[in-house]
């Protein structure tokens, strides 16, 4: 299991467009990827789940990744968040 935290810098938070991109990215991996923040959590492959968390700018999220390709996933997910969120 791999975990990292990230503070959202996108002004709008995880809004529809980047959420869509996040889902596409997360679906590339076999590992289960969970995003959690403020006692809420959702699977990163579920668009409505992620969007309904209402993650805003400045929120610190925790990403937990577990599965066969977790090594690759953690590296790529980290750079995804840095680049887009």
User: Which pair of tokens denotes residue 59?
Assistant: 């929120």
Kindly tell me which of 4 and 84 has the beta carbon lying closer to other proteins: 84
Catalytic-residue membership of 37? no
Measured CA distances, 36 to 6, 41 (Å): 11, 4
DSSP 40-69: EEEETT-HHHHHTT---TT-EEEEEEESTT
Kindly tell me which of 42 and 63 has the beta carbon lying closer to other proteins: 42
Instruction: Please report, as residue ranges, which positions from 22 to 81 form the binding site for other proteins (by CB under 8 A).
Output: 23-24, 43, 45-49, 51-52, 54, 56
Q: Specify the DSSP class assigned to residue 85.
A: -
Active site residues: 15
Q: Which residues bind other proteins (CB under 8 A)?
A: 12-13, 15-17, 19-20, 23-24, 43, 45-49, 51-52, 54, 56
């Amino acid at each position: 299991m791999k975990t990292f935290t990230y503070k959202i810098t996108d002004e709008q938070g995880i809004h529809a467009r980047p959420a869509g991109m996040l889902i596409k990215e997360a679906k590339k991996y076999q590992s289960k990827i969970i995003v959690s923040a403020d006692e809420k959590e959702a699977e990163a492959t579920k668009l409505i789940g992620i969007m309904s968390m209402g993650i805003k700018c400045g929120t610190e999220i925790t990403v937990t990744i577990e599965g066969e390709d977790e090594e690759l996933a953690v590296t790529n997910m980290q750079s995804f968040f840095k680049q887009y969120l």
